[in-house]
Structure 1
Amino acid sequence: TLDGFIFVVAPDGKIMYISETASVHLGLSQ
């Protein structure tokens, strides 16, 4: 993974799990 960026997407497209690092990056990008 890139800098601990990992997430799991359900078949319907919803994010079921996202790593803490990814959450931080997404929070900053929004």
Structure 2
Amino acid sequence: GSEVHIEVLGESPRSVGNEIEVEFGVSSSD
């Protein structure tokens, strides 16, 4: 299966613009 992890680094999750880290991971087993 495939897994998508999105993490927003900032003072608050609602705040957008500071740092956004997006990781795309694919696992063989779902």
Common fold: TM-score over 0.5? no
Q: Which has the higher strand share?
A: 2
Higher RCO (CA-CA < 8 Å; seq separation 6+): 2
Task: Please state which structure has a larger fraction of its residues in helix.
Answer: 1
Instruction: Give the shorter-chain TM-score range.
Output: under 0.3
TM-score normalised by length of structure 2? 0.21
